[in-house]
Structure 1
Amino acid sequence: MSLWTAQEAAAATGGRATSDWQVNGISIDTRTIEPGDLFVALKAARDGHDFVAQALEKGAGAALVSHIPEGVAEDAPLLLVEDVQTALEALGRAGRARTKARVVAVTGSVGKTSTKEMLAAMLTPQGRTHAAVASYNNHWGVPLTLARMPADTEYAVIEIGMNHPGEIAPLSRQARPHVALVTTVAAVHLEAFEDVAGIAREKAAIIEGLEPGGIAVLNADLEETPVLRDVAQDAGVATRWFGQTSDDYCLQEAQLSGDVTRARIVQAEREFSAEIQSLGVHFAMNATGALAAIEALGADLELALAGLQGWSPVKGRGARFTVGLPSGPVTVLDDAYNANPTSIGAALTVLAATPTEGRRIAYLADMKELGPEEARLHAGLADHPALAKIDAVHCIGPLMKHLYAALPENKRGTWVETSAEAASALPAQIQGGDVVLAKGSLSMAVARVVDAIREIGQGNPPS
């Protein structure tokens, strides 16, 4: 069965199909497009219309465009619309409307993607489950996820993010979730907000899209918890609370052992044991929130816990792997996708808890979008208690120079301007038996450090 026919897509968007086509998927990137996909010609850093001919050559079933691009035949399989972004949103709303799926939407300053992936693993044993890929959580990622949803989906997990005020509510209204989960609120995107309370109000705006009778699942442990509570009360929605201080879903214990975190979660008279295939109290907290969301969806908790055992972090988000060096194996904690004070603190805690026969080494790069407090927030990482068990911290970027200056001399590694320089210096800084953490904001390209370790393991100099 096709995902969209030309007639269905035209009806959803108000556009005009040039021929009778059908598609089995949707893509915005010719590098990863699959035969039979609908190519959506979005305008971002580049105009997607410039790639329509290439998409069709690679087997795209059709293209969503606002005009016939140069080099594309007039009888090519197209869906002509006034505005591609608006049409994608309309297609997403239609994709959501035609399914009877139970939908959970996830937001939060930290842990959105990991929690979304946990929920997908917990729901997959219970029915046909559709979830956002990667971090598709913005103005095009949410409608794209909805438009990709098969009509027979039974459970859907939608991730919703933001950089500025006013972004979350419209995306939540597109997703129309039955359950809205806020993982946590932290000092992220402070350039765009006056304070963390403003961030909390924006995260809580996910409640605005809830279906009638919907439930908000909220973190009980935060300084900003009263803000979340006020928004939920003003909206008149039912709530479920999770956290170490919650009376609903209480994380009573999280034991880190080897490569596994075991969590003990209490809900009313019931007690649950959750096993997570990665180290981190923050993962145990995310799992507690996910379990509360599963119950709010009406899904089975025991099946969910069984599904959770199959989850592990993905590349760049806490994934762990071992690289064989001539001097012995090195364990790498790849958390290079993004960074803020809360997530770096969590990553340092995981590094400190990771068993090793060698040293514990961190490569930390600049945290972006922290506003006027950026220098203080970088330097403040030097006070994190996990540093007591960490042997060296190498700092990358102009902002991390503040941390470098604040570190105790016995913890201070090197400071360099870029991740490329850090990758070049890396062979002399690590050896067999070490555990190495790499973390920083995406624009700092700390993945180069991770790749450099892999290359050393393959006997190649870092490129």
Structure 2
Amino acid sequence: MTSAALHPMLHQWPVLPRDRLGLALWRSDEIAAATGGSASHAFEAAGVEMDSRDVKPGDVFIALKGEAMDGHRFLADAFARGAIAAIVDRPIDRPHVLVADTRAALIALAHAARERAHEAVRIGITGSVGKTGVKEAIFACLDRASRGAAHRSVRSYNNHVGVPLSLARMPARSRFGVFEMGMNHAGEIAPLAAHVRPHVALITTIAPAHIENLGSLEAIADEKAQIFTGLVPGGVAIIPEDSEWAERLKAHARSCGAQIVTFGRAASADVRLLDAIPASSGGALVTADLGDRRVCYTIAEPGEHWIVNSLGVLAAVRAAGGDLGAAGLALAEMGGLKGRGARHRIPARSGSALLIDESYNANPASMRATLKALSQTPARRRIAVLGSMKELGDFADAFHRQLAAPLAEAGVDHAILVGAEMAALAEELGKASPAELGKPLSFAHCHGPAEAIAALTAYGLAEGDAVLVKGSNWVGLGRLVSHFTDNAPEAPSAGG
């Protein structure tokens, strides 16, 4: 594939040299100037951290104060782990920058990082499903092309603290910055977009995640569309054309003066799927129409949802001025993320079984997508360990019951349902006839991860079995994954 600018305006960014090893992220005088604070000593920080448990040697630790916790209590731990200094609101006897308010200081540092890396193209990502995976894919594509000059938010640092922290960590020489933005309530996306000020803003999809707090899918679409309010003048809004809310999202984008690019299967999409041939390794060979050209590339991630995701990734990479050839190579090599699709080979009778770790998050749309991906996974038997979906409010019972059909369609042989909300699905499966399910489907309902571990152990995994583990993080199914995968190797990604 070759690279071309979908929007030439965004292709004028100069190529920046790669950071030299050992180049400081922040100097003490820069932090003081950005935050309006005063530095007790001269120092150079290699990183910025807000959790003392994650501090690495050379980091500056920000002692944030929350409703239930004060980061100043963990200063000793941060310095013991190698912090070179701290940002604090009271003097201490170690190197520090004294500020009036540490949370305000974090935001000021984030904005300073954004401004000093003024030649970097910033991409913002939100959506009900797939934010983190798409963020990682866009980062992989841009990082490969820029030879390590791309930056992104790590993990799911996508809230009012995580987004500023991710910005504050952006090196001055970055060519690209990729930032995830999430929400639980109305009014949370716009402030995040204002911090990032993206050149490109992508919405993955609209689905009933957090519907308990938002009340309707219309409200969810309206809140996600607030990412466009932060776009720089003439920025690009990337919208899923297949969504029933596409026109609503486009109206929001137009009101913000954005250029609009759509992606999907629909004939009207700007980045349109032409063909997808399943690969024996689990991914797919994809052909897409980008308007002025057709491209063919391989994706390592399994599942039809990733085929559409890849179209959004290409749209974002092209709008940001990235290289499409490098993007194709990166998509072919991507493996699953911990809790979000990582694949492991675990011991089983006569050999090994495949465990697919989707334990970090779940909502009705992502449950259906991953169950469909499970149906396309070659297996002797298919086992689904499903945890409760949270923040569905009065819709919870109905959405859990509706998983009976996707379970049956996926050819699941045995289901382990975990959590109180899964009682509705257990009841639905209990009253379904064999004809409705299409094949015998046994199930067990467990209260928590410990019971689920026992149930899966008792089921007796054998060579060739495939186990999907998916649920809201609150359910704790990561414990089950760790139990079966500790000291077990990750399965090779589909891209090798």
Q: TM-score normalized by structure 2?
A: 0.88
2:65 to 43, 47, 51: 43
The answer to whether residue 391 in structure 2 is matched with residue 373 in structure 1 is no
- Kindly indicate whether the alpha-carbon contact (under 8 Å) linking 1:124 and 1:307 is maintained by their aligned counterparts in 2: no
Matched residue, 2:290: 267
CA distance in 2, matches of 1:288, 1:457: 33
Matched residue, 1:154: 175
Secondary structure of the equivalent of 1:31? helix
2:426 to 376, 381, 404: 404
Matched residue, 1:172: 193
CA distance in 2, matches of 1:280, 1:142: 29
Q: Which moved more, 1:323-332 or 1:202-211?
A: 323-332
- The structure showing larger relative contact order (alpha-carbon pairs under 8 Å, at least 6 residues apart) is 2
Q: Which moved more, 1:100-109 or 1:254-263?
A: 254-263
- Kindly indicate whether the alpha-carbon contact (under 8 Å) linking 1:121 and 1:310 is maintained by their aligned counterparts in 2: no
Q: What's the offset of the Cα at 1:84?
A: 1.3
CA distance in 2, matches of 1:109, 1:170: 18
Matched residue, 2:112: 94
Matched residue, 1:197: 218
Q: What's the offset of the Cα at 1:126?
A: 2.0
Q: What's the offset of the Cα at 1:415?
A: 0.3
- Kindly indicate whether the alpha-carbon contact (under 8 Å) linking 1:426 and 1:452 is maintained by their aligned counterparts in 2: no
Secondary structure of the equivalent of 1:130? strand
CA distance in 2, matches of 1:149, 1:296: 21
Q: What's the offset of the Cα at 1:311?
A: 1.4
- Kindly indicate whether the alpha-carbon contact (under 8 Å) linking 1:418 and 1:444 is maintained by their aligned counterparts in 2: yes
- Kindly indicate whether the alpha-carbon contact (under 8 Å) linking 1:256 and 1:280 is maintained by their aligned counterparts in 2: no
CA distance in 2, matches of 1:52, 1:456: 33
Describe the shift of the 1:386–1:11 C-alpha distance in structure 2 as closer, same or farther (beyond 3 A).
farther
CA distance in 2, matches of 1:247, 1:390: 34
CA distance in 2, matches of 1:134, 1:23: 21
**One-letter amino acid of the structure 2 residue matched with residue 232 of structure 1:** A
Matched residue, 2:29: 7
CA distance in 1, matches of 2:83, 2:162: 20
CA distance in 2, matches of 1:20, 1:269: 54
- Cα deviation per residue 1:276-328 (whole Å; 9 max; x = unaligned)? 11211111111100101111112221222122222122110011121122432
Matched residue, 2:302: 279
Q: What's the offset of the Cα at 1:78?
A: 1.0
Q: Which moved more, 1:298-307 or 1:171-180?
A: 298-307
**One-letter amino acid of the structure 1 residue matched with residue 175 of structure 2:** E
Matched residue, 2:228: 207
The answer to whether residue 354 in structure 2 is matched with residue 331 in structure 1 is yes
CA distance in 1, matches of 2:297, 2:185: 35
- Cα deviation per residue 1:91-146 (whole Å; 9 max; x = unaligned)? 00000000110111111100000000000111012221111111111111111111
Matched residue, 1:122: 141
CA distance in 1, matches of 2:213, 2:277: 37
Describe the shift of the 1:455–1:269 C-alpha distance in structure 2 as closer, same or farther (beyond 3 A).
closer
Secondary structure of the equivalent of 1:389? coil
Describe the shift of the 1:77–1:425 C-alpha distance in structure 2 as closer, same or farther (beyond 3 A).
same
What are structure 2's unaligned runs of at least 5 residues? 1-22, 434-439, 490-496
Q: What's the offset of the Cα at 1:405?
A: 1.0
- Kindly indicate whether the alpha-carbon contact (under 8 Å) linking 1:247 and 1:268 is maintained by their aligned counterparts in 2: no
The answer to whether residue 471 in structure 2 is matched with residue 440 in structure 1 is yes
Secondary structure of the equivalent of 2:114? helix
1:249 to 271, 276, 284: 271
- Cα deviation per residue 1:342-369 (whole Å; 9 max; x = unaligned)? 001011011111001x200000010000
The answer to whether residue 248 in structure 2 is matched with residue 227 in structure 1 is yes
Matched residue, 1:461: none
- Kindly indicate whether the alpha-carbon contact (under 8 Å) linking 1:4 and 1:22 is maintained by their aligned counterparts in 2: yes
Matched residue, 1:449: 480
State the superposition RMSD in angstroms: 1.6
Matched residue, 1:238: 259
Secondary structure of the equivalent of 2:213? coil
Secondary structure of the equivalent of 1:375? helix
**One-letter amino acid of the structure 1 residue matched with residue 145 of structure 2:** Q
- Cα deviation per residue 1:171-215 (whole Å; 9 max; x = unaligned)? 111111110000001001012112011111111100011111210
CA distance in 1, matches of 2:42, 2:269: 56
Q: What's the offset of the Cα at 1:252?
A: 2.6
Q: What percent identity do the matched residue pairs reach?
A: 42
Q: TM-score normalized by structure 1?
A: 0.94
CA distance in 2, matches of 1:455, 1:96: 39
Matched residue, 2:13: none
CA distance in 1, matches of 2:288, 2:426: 38
- Kindly indicate whether the alpha-carbon contact (under 8 Å) linking 2:234 and 2:257 is maintained by their aligned counterparts in 1: no
Secondary structure of the equivalent of 1:156? strand
Matched residue, 1:16: 38
Matched residue, 2:76: 53
The answer to whether residue 366 in structure 2 is matched with residue 343 in structure 1 is yes
1:293 to 302, 316, 329: 316
- Cα deviation per residue 1:207-260 (whole Å; 9 max; x = unaligned)? 011111210001011111121011012222110000111430012333333322
- Kindly indicate whether the alpha-carbon contact (under 8 Å) linking 1:6 and 1:19 is maintained by their aligned counterparts in 2: yes
CA distance in 2, matches of 1:94, 1:397: 44
CA distance in 2, matches of 1:249, 1:302: 16
Secondary structure of the equivalent of 1:103? strand
Q: What's the offset of the Cα at 1:386?
A: 5.6
Q: What's the offset of the Cα at 1:388?
A: 4.7
- Kindly indicate whether the alpha-carbon contact (under 8 Å) linking 1:88 and 1:147 is maintained by their aligned counterparts in 2: yes
CA distance in 2, matches of 1:225, 1:136: 26
1:64 to 67, 83, 87: 87
- Kindly indicate whether the alpha-carbon contact (under 8 Å) linking 2:416 and 2:455 is maintained by their aligned counterparts in 1: no
CA distance in 1, matches of 2:224, 2:160: 15
Q: What's the offset of the Cα at 1:454?
A: 2.5
Matched residue, 2:4: none
Matched residue, 2:123: 104
CA distance in 1, matches of 2:292, 2:108: 45
CA distance in 1, matches of 2:136, 2:168: 19
**One-letter amino acid of the structure 2 residue matched with residue 18 of structure 1:** S
CA distance in 1, matches of 2:205, 2:410: 26
- Kindly indicate whether the alpha-carbon contact (under 8 Å) linking 1:109 and 1:186 is maintained by their aligned counterparts in 2: yes
Secondary structure of the equivalent of 1:191? helix
Q: What's the offset of the Cα at 1:457?
A: 6.6
Secondary structure of the equivalent of 2:333? coil
Q: What's the offset of the Cα at 1:456?
A: 9.9
Q: What's the offset of the Cα at 1:60?
A: 0.6
**One-letter amino acid of the structure 1 residue matched with residue 32 of structure 2:** A
